[in-house]
Amino acid sequence: MEYKAPLRDIRFALYEVLGYAEHFASLPRGEAATPETVDAVFDEFARLCEEVLEPIYRSGDEEGCTWDAGEVRTPSGFREAYLHYATSGWAGISSDPVYGGQGLPSSMSRVLGEMMGAANTGFTLYTAGQAGAIETLAAHGTPEQRDLYERQLIAGTWNATMCLTEPHCGSDLGLLRTKAEPQADGSYAISGTKIFITGGEHDLTENIVHIVLARLPDAPPGNKGISLFIVPKYLAGADGELSDRNRVFCGSIEHKMGIKASATCVMNFDGATGYLLGQLNRGLNGMFTFMNTSRVATAVQGVTHAELGFQKSLAYARERLQMRSLTGAKNPEGPADPIIVHPDVRRMLMTQKAFAEGNRMLVYYLARHIDVVEDGQDQAARAASQDRLDFLTPVAKAFATETGFESANLGMQCLGGHGYIREWGLEQNVRDARIAMLYEGTTGIQALDLLSRKVLGSGGKMVADFTQEIEHFCRSATGEPELEPYLIELRELVDEWRAISLRIAEDAEKDLEVVGAVSVQYLMYAGYVSLAYLWARAYSAALLGLAQSPQDADFYRAKQSTAAFYFEHILPRTRTCSEIISAGASSLMSLPEEHFRF
């Protein structure tokens, strides 16, 4: 029951559904991304995941991280695996070649992130802060800062964190208190406590670069007084040579439900030397770029948990013999039938499959738009892609992680009581998956961002634009009788989506609480319809595949079956969402706070 990278499905989503061949060809960075190179990169990385990272998946969870007097030891094998990862150049696969990166499109990082996350979520998190810091430095760093820090991060010799959260301030960053006092030499003395810092301290690299949100003493209150600082664990000369230990220390690590191989640190900044990154008081703006891509990266985790649960429970369902099929023995020689013959087991497997493959398409769809924003040649196309990203990033983050967690639980459920036992690895997947709905903005925060800032904030334009794209697809795909029922359903949903959005906008004028009351249902609705769109595209791509590559007919027919399952067994969830949305806020807000319990 080990993880195998689903390379065939990855290629289907990229090339056959989402047109990545033409997409790569249209990008300056895509020049190197020939189909051969891309395949070679994926194959090579799949091997790393399967052979190096997967074998330390469970042991990393069992062993966890240990904290001793401010030092953190990662689980056995993590240091060697990280070295392997870093020295092979994977950290900079889509980074700037000027600083040592490979300069490939960033969408490829998402694909690698998916394989890595499924093989070993805990390990993957040590690469997340690094990626975020590289990106933030690339966007806001001076050439000197980039040459020093970004180069080391790309080389993987140093690691990095993003330090946002404080004990009293999670979603509400305006409350943050960490102080930055200007020093005579132009640096800043950073003081404060940050919590939930992934990889804040560890033994993987010689240095760790913290990107820290803090406030100058005279900064305006709230969001507009936050600046970004680079705070390395060890100060370094321009050549990267380490000198003094900086005054930033790991006070403790959290004891968590899952992702135990990842050190989640309390970081104490005790007058640590920091360097301003970007403009004063504009730190939160600097953060938004990073937050958005880290949200897409978290959406990828939703894919990984669904994929992993699916692979493991499928293997079990093929082996485990229990009871006979309702329609007669399917394994008459054996004492019972394999449980995959039972429709309810199939329901659980198909649900995982539909979410793993569906959310994979959703994430790659977004990754394509990120490529365009970062590297597109056409200004209008870049703006359109940015809009689509702004709109769908909260959807993908929350929807993929919610359904990823659901899938992880279904994977466990397929094993019955055995799923609850650690040795099978399914319960680890559930525990690891659970964090994804919380960090990088909870589902509730994503939903509010979607409905309040994006839908209502754009006056409905973002919904109009995306639903137009869906309608455009429906028109272009018309003519295939097999596809037609799905297109009809999709068109109806598009109409309903617009009507719902409009009605919420009207209701919100009377009572603003409506927005918060229905936001999560709205987001889930948007997610189910977005996935229906992508499953319809997959069905359409499968039709083409059947015509062009009959030797792959089994693969394409399986796609069609999964699309049909999605439309028949998953998409009806929109019925509940739309009915709850119409209920509004009243029964949520009527109960006085002091009467919740007696």
Catalytic entry in 440, 506, 513, 594: 440
Rounded alpha-carbon distances, angstroms, from residue 487 to 25, 65, 256, 539: 30, 50, 44, 11
> 196, 249, 290, 533: which one contacts a second copy (CB under 8 A)?
196
| Angle made by CA atoms 298, 163, 280, in degrees to the nearest 5 | 115
Of the chain, the end-to-end C-alpha distance in Å amounts to 49
| Total chain residues near a second copy (CB under 8 A) | 104
Pairing of strands 207-214, 158-163: parallel
Q: Nearer to a second copy by C-beta: 148 or 341?
A: 341
- Least distance (Å) between residue 268 CB and a second copy: 18
User: Looking at 44-52, 123-131, 430-438, 468-476, which segment touches a second copy (CB under 8 A)?
Assistant: 430-438
Interaction with a second copy in 146-165: which residues (CB under 8 A)?
165
Interaction with a second copy in 514-573: which residues (CB under 8 A)?
514-517, 519-520, 554-555, 557-558, 561-562, 564-565, 568-569, 572-573
Binding to a second copy by residue 342, rule CB under 8 A?
yes
Q: Nearer to a second copy by C-beta: 8 or 472?
A: 8
Binding to a second copy by residue 332, rule CB under 8 A?
no
Distance, in Å, from the CA atom of 261 to the CA atom of 206, rounded to the nearest integer, reads 19
Q: Nearer to a second copy by C-beta: 346 or 498?
A: 346
Binding to a second copy by residue 343, rule CB under 8 A?
yes
> 420, 468, 484, 495: which one contacts a second copy (CB under 8 A)?
420
Distance, in Å, from the CA atom of 559 to the CA atom of 483, rounded to the nearest integer, reads 13
> 326, 379, 380, 510: which one contacts a second copy (CB under 8 A)?
326
User: Looking at 148-156, 335-343, 386-394, 497-505, which segment touches a second copy (CB under 8 A)?
Assistant: 335-343
Interaction with a second copy in 362-391: which residues (CB under 8 A)?
none
Q: Is 440 an annotated catalytic residue?
A: yes
Q: Are 20 and 95 in contact (CB under 8 A)?
A: no
Q: Which amino acid is at 401?
A: T
CA 228 to chain centre: 23
User: Looking at 35-43, 276-284, 445-453, 536-544, which segment touches a second copy (CB under 8 A)?
Assistant: 445-453
Give the number of other Cβ atoms within 10 Å of residue 242's Cβ. Answer: 14
Binding to a second copy by residue 8, rule CB under 8 A?
yes
Distance, in Å, from the CA atom of 42 to the CA atom of 46, rounded to the nearest integer, reads 6
> 153, 361, 435, 542: which one contacts a second copy (CB under 8 A)?
435
Interaction with a second copy in 38-77: which residues (CB under 8 A)?
none
Distance, in Å, from the CA atom of 119 to the CA atom of 113, rounded to the nearest integer, reads 10
Beta bridge partners of 215: 179
Helix (H), strand (E), coil (C) string for 269-333: EEEEEEEEECCCCEHHHHHHHHHHHHHHHHHHHHHHHHHHHHHHHHHHHHHCECCCCCCCCCCCC
Q: Residues 477-516 vs a second copy: string with x where CB under 8 A?
A: ----------------------------------xxxxxx
Binding to a second copy by residue 590, rule CB under 8 A?
yes
Q: Are 38 and 367 in contact (CB under 8 A)?
A: no
Q: Are 178 and 50 in contact (CB under 8 A)?
A: no
Q: Residues 250-289 vs a second copy: string with x where CB under 8 A?
A: ----xxxxx-------------------------------
Q: Nearer to a second copy by C-beta: 244 or 319?
A: 319
Q: Which residues are catalytic?
A: 440
